[in-house]
Homo-oligomer: A and B are copies of this chain.
Amino acid sequence: MRLSQMLFVTLRDDPADAEIPSHKLLLRAGYIRRIGSGIYAYLPLMWRVLQKVSQIVREEMNATGAQECLLPQLQPAELWRESGRWDTYTQAEGIMFALVDRREQELALGPTHEEVITTIARDLIHSYRQLPLHLYQVQTKFRDEIRPRFGLMRGREFIMKDGYSFHEDEESLKKTYQDMYQAYSNMLRRSGLAFRAVEADSGAIGGSGSTEFMVLAEAGEDEVLYTEDGQYAANVEKAVSLTADAETSPFTSYEKRETPGTETIDKLCAFLKCSPTQIVKNVLYQALYDNATTVLVLVSIRGDQEVNEVKLQNELTKLASQYGAKTILKLTVPDAEAQKKWAAKPLPLGYIAPDVADDYITPLSKGGTEGGSVHPKFLRLVDKTATDLKNFVTGSNESGYHVVGTNWNEQFKLPDNIVDVRKARPGDRAIHNPEQTLKSARGIEVGHIFQLGTEYSQVMGANYTNEQGEEKPLVMGCYGVGVSRLAQAAVEQSYDKDGIIWPVAIAPYHAIVTIPNINDAQQVEIAEKLYTELNQAGIETLLDDRNERAGVKFKDADLIGIPYRIVTGRAIANGKVEVVERATHNSQEIPIAEVVPTIKQWIVQAIEAKN
A residues whose Cβ falls under 8 Å from a Cβ of B: 1, 4-7, 9, 30, 33, 35-37, 39-44, 46-47, 50, 65, 67-76, 79, 94, 97-99, 101-103, 105, 107, 109, 116, 119-120, 123-125, 129-130, 133, 135, 140, 142, 144, 146, 156-157, 547
Select A135's contact among B7, B71, B547, beta carbons within 8 Å: B7
Task: Identify whether the interface residues of A are mostly helix, strand, loop, or mixed.
Answer: mixed
A293 vs B140: C-alpha distance in the bound complex, in angstroms?
40
Would A42 and B69 be within 8 Å (CB), given that A76-B36, A98-B99, A135-B7 are in contact?
yes
Inter-subunit contact A37/B72 (CB<8 Å): no
The reply to whether B35 and A75 contact each other, CB–CB distance below 8 Å, is yes
Would you list 24 pairs from A and B whose C-beta atoms are within 8 A, ordered by A residue?
A5-B65, A6-B67, A7-B67, A7-B124, A33-B120, A33-B124, A35-B72, A35-B116, A35-B120, A36-B72, A39-B74, A41-B72, A41-B116, A42-B69, A43-B69, A43-B120, A44-B69, A46-B69, A47-B70, A73-B73, A74-B97, A97-B107, A101-B156, A102-B146
Which chain B positions have C-beta within 8 A of A119? 35
Known contacts being A35-B116, A99-B98, is A157 close to B74, with CB within 8 Å? Answer: yes
Known contacts A33-B123, A97-B101; 14 additional CB pairs below 8 A are: A5-B133, A7-B124, A9-B124, A35-B76, A41-B69, A42-B71, A46-B69, A47-B69, A73-B142, A97-B99, A99-B109, A101-B144, A129-B547, A140-B140
Q: How many copies does the complex hold?
A: 2
Residues of chain B with a CB closer than 8 A to A156's CB: 74, 101
A144 and B73 alpha carbons, distance in the complex (Å): 14
What residue of chain B has the Cβ atom nearest to residue A135's Cβ? B7
Q: Are A7 and B41 in contact (CB under 8 A)?
A: no
Cα separation A129 to B76 with both chains bound (whole Å): 48
Nearest-CB residue, chain B, relative to A132: B5
A5 CA to B35 CA, complexed, in Å: 43
Q: Which 7 A-B pairs have the closest CB atoms?
A: A99-B99, A36-B76, A44-B67, A42-B70, A39-B72, A9-B124, A41-B71
Q: How far is the CB of A105 from chain B (nearest CB, A)?
A: 7
Give the docked Cα–Cα distance between A140 and B43 (Å). 17
Is the beta-carbon distance between A68 and B97 smaller than 8 angstroms? Answer: no
